[in-house]
Structure 1
Amino acid sequence: MIDDLMKETVEESLKYIPKLIVGIDKVINYIDDGMYVEANNLLVSVIDGLNWSVQAITLTMPLHGYKLDMEKVNESLKTLMSGIENLDYQLISDSLNYEIKDILSGYINYCRKGELN
């Protein structure tokens, strides 16, 4: 039962995270275009998606074997939150583009190579 739930969660994450990355790219584009209200509105959903994704990856690690570097994740999220708190849209964009997307892409690429346990 638990294995089935883990498999289902991994499958869902492999469908969802690429969509989340598209959403991240939209936030970045909104910021680049000076559309900060739109960026902020979408950023709320992106943060919710990040929360779910990190939990899904962490909880299903026994199945896929990908070790999420939680120190890196936490540091990236701190940077993102600092950008949000200070309305530093360049920091938000850079954090999403160069840190958070890399973390999510690393997981997707690992799983797509078929290296599941």
Structure 2
Amino acid sequence: MSRIKEMKEVLLGIYNYLNKLEKGIEDIIERYQDGDEGQANRMMVEVIDSMGWIIEGINSTGEIQKEEIEVDKINEHLKEIIMAFENRDYVLLGDLLEYEINPIIDDWKKKIKPIIEE
């Protein structure tokens, strides 16, 4: 398999995962709003873990990106999320997910889609 094809496969996997991640984040936000912090926290651990894999994958595909997929923006927010998580500030966590992380995920999907559709 060619290197370019491999990178497209990585981005396809990331794209599909981002769709699932968006739904998971919506579920987490709802659980925080409903007071089900225990389940939301378990789900948050998975989200934080998966972001590392996603960022690594995006960074490894830079040469086929038409428009640079910036991962630096999310790193700042991930630090805030971890701090809010440690402080048990579930309102802030929900807000960060909804207003900071979701728009970034949406932006990444918009930039990945044309690459995987080629």
The secondary structure found in structure 2 opposite 1:67 is coil
Other-structure match for 1:99: 100
How much is the aligned-residue C-alpha RMSD, in angstroms? 1.8
Q: State the identity %.
A: 31
Residue 70 (structure 2) pairs with residue 69 (structure 1): yes
Offset of 1:115 from its aligned partner?
5.8
Partners of 2:63 and 2:98 in 1: CA distance? 28
Structure 1 14/91 Cα, relative in aligned 2: closer, same or farther at 3 Å?
same
Task: Structure 1 unaligned segments of length 5 or more: list them.
Answer: none
Higher RCO (CA-CA < 8 Å; seq separation 6+): 2
d(CA) in 1 for partners of 2:39, 2:45 = 10
- What TM-score do the two structures reach when normalised by structure 2? 0.87
Equivalent positions of 1:3-22 (< 5 A) are 3-22=4-23
CA contact (8 A) 1:76 1:100 kept: yes
Change in Cα spacing, 1:4 to 1:115, as seen in structure 2 (3 Å) is closer
C-alpha displacement of 1:94? 1.0
Aligned CA distance change for structure 1 residues 69 and 111 (closer, same or farther; 3 Å): closer
TM-score of the superposition, structure 1-length normalised?
A: 0.88
Q: 1:74–1:11: structure 2 CA closer, same or farther, 3 Å change rule?
A: same
Once residues 42 and 71 of structure 2 are traced to their aligned partners in structure 1, the CA distance between those partners, rounded to angstroms, is 26
What is the aligned residue count?
116
